[in-house]
Amino acid sequence: MRILALTDGSVRSATAVDAFDGRMQVDMHVPLAPLPKDMSKPDIVILSFEEFPAFGVKPLLAWMEKYDLSQKPRILCMPRSITRQYSASVRMIADKTLPLPVRSEVVLDTVQRMDTRLPQIRKQGRNETVATVHRTARRFISAFSSDQGDAGTTVLALSAATKEVCTALDNDGLGDWLSEVNKYHSSTARHCMIVAAFASIWARQLGVNDRDLQLFTCGALLHDIGKMRIPLSILDKQGDLLEPEEQAIIETHPLEGKRILETAQNINPVIIDLAYSHHERLDGSGYPRGLEGNDINNMVRCLTIVDIYATLVDPGAVGGAMHPDEAFAYLQSIPEKVDRDLVGAFRSVVDIHIAQIVSSNATDDADGDNAANADEGDVADAEEGDVADADVDDMGVEAVSSVDDASDAVSNIDDAGDDADDNKAA
């Protein structure tokens, strides 16, 4: 059973499909953008809008007709006041109308009357780790699919989810998280969730306290939030397919991320610096400021490593994913750009990733499925209060220097961390 949710890109409109979290994946899209082929054959369409679409009913109906959605069972979720105002158009758009916000049980009951497979799905119960992936992915997809999204609301929703992400990774490990994340079409949403997962796993390996673990994970989760300001037509392109002027637009996302986070409430300056500086390189070849050497603090250096690694092992990458060992070898090959000692410390995460792949492949073989799922990614969410209250002065050094309790392989990071506090806030 497949459900396609068409939203206006707002966090509130996306809550219409909360009922399915942990039970089944719901594809999400913002009309009138081209619909990916893997979303084009849903069993049921749920439309959810906070306001009546500005483009009007005729373009929406034509768009749905183009993708053969007009003959599918359709549910429209919209505030009662808007539904009354546009009652004639609403009847043209959907078979059934529900008020927004809408209770989960009402959505499930409505869908169940349209598809008899739902009772069995409801009996299966919820997988909380999968539910966390679904909720987080939905927030990202809404943010990156429309220029109508509320940046402040999106940032707070994602930061508040960090604790759930860290808990999910602690409880169920990397495998379940990555297998769910990799089902999503949005490359930006998938990447952010994968980066957050590896960041959370690494912080746990380094033995940092829960507060700093959530802070680093939240920074990883929000590091590309500036891409909310990048046109979807550019975001959906892959690497080498970008024109020079499009690449220049992409490279504005760190500054845009800084601006978005600075206007949001209760966002720690460390998180802002991570978003602003994660594309800087030790040799000065990065962007947007061309920082080099000691101008780049240890938290940024850590995130840069995770960001590069997550990009290389993403199964959605052009040419496919690198094996974790290949990705790690690449990191080792560029000591002029990334911190050599921190790369060495990251090896423990690579080993966890490889073990997860081996385990996943063994399970597939046992089930008679020989397809190897080489890459999976994690998302981490953060509790708003924890992020707001974390001590910025401690974080730049503490999360890395706490490796005193970890292996000798990372003990030399302490020396590199003495100056980390000087460049926290960009």
Does the structure show a pLDDT above 60 at 414?
A: no
pLDDT score of 29: 80
Phi, psi angles (nearest 5°) of residue 79: -55, 145
- What is the rounded distance in angstroms from the CA atom of residue 184 to the CA atom of residue 61? 26
118 close to 112: Cβ distance less than 8 angstroms: yes
Average confidence (pLDDT) over 390-405 = 37
The amino acid occupying position 109 is D
Parallel, antiparallel, or unpaired for β 44-48 and 96-99?
unpaired
**What is the token pair recorded at 40?**
């084009």
Predicted confidence (pLDDT) per residue in 244-288, tens digit: 899 999 999 999 999 999 988 889 999 999 999 999 999 999 999
Does the structure show a pLDDT above 70 at 30?
A: yes
- Helix H, strand E, coil C: the string for 109-133 is HHHHHHCCCHHHHHHCCCCHHHHHH
- Helix H, strand E, coil C: the string for 352-386 is HHHHHHHHHHHHHHHCCCCCCCCCCCCCCEECHHH
Average confidence (pLDDT) over 47-70 = 90
* Domains with residue ranges and CATH for the chain: 3-126 (3.40.50.2300), 148-423 (1.10.3210.10)
Does the structure show a pLDDT above 90 at 27?
A: no
Average confidence (pLDDT) over 111-132 = 76
pLDDT score of 219: 96
Torsion, Cα 203 207 209 212, to 10 degrees, reads -30
List, as one string, the DSSP characters of 252-321.
THHHHHHHHHHHSSS--HHHHHHHHHTT--TBS--SSS--BGGGS-HHHHHHHHHHHHHHHT-TTSTT-P
Does the structure show a pLDDT above 80 at 197?
A: yes
Q: What would you measure as the largest C-alpha separation in the chain, in angstroms?
A: 70
77-86, 140-149, 307-316, 329-338, range with the lowest pLDDT: 140-149
234-243, 368-377, 408-417, range with the lowest pLDDT: 408-417
Q: In what order do the strands lie in the sheet with 44-48?
A: 26-29, 3-7, 44-48, 74-78, 96-99
Calculate what percentage of the chain has a pLDDT beyond 70.
80
Average confidence (pLDDT) over 55-64 = 91
Does the structure show a pLDDT above 80 at 402?
A: no
220 close to 196: Cβ distance less than 8 angstroms: yes
Residue that wins the pLDDT comparison between 362 and 265 = 265
- What is the rounded distance in angstroms from the CA atom of residue 204 to the CA atom of residue 399? 10
Confidence of residue 238 (pLDDT cuts 50, 70, 90): low
pLDDT score of 13: 80
Does the structure show a pLDDT above 90 at 316?
A: no
Smallest CA-to-CA distance from 339 within 303, 373, 389 is with 303
- What is the rounded distance in angstroms from the CA atom of residue 16 to the CA atom of residue 98? 9
Predicted confidence (pLDDT) per residue in 209-233, tens digit: 999 999 999 999 999 999 988 887 7
Q: What single DSSP character describes residue 148?
A: T
Smallest CA-to-CA distance from 255 within 279, 221, 238 is with 279
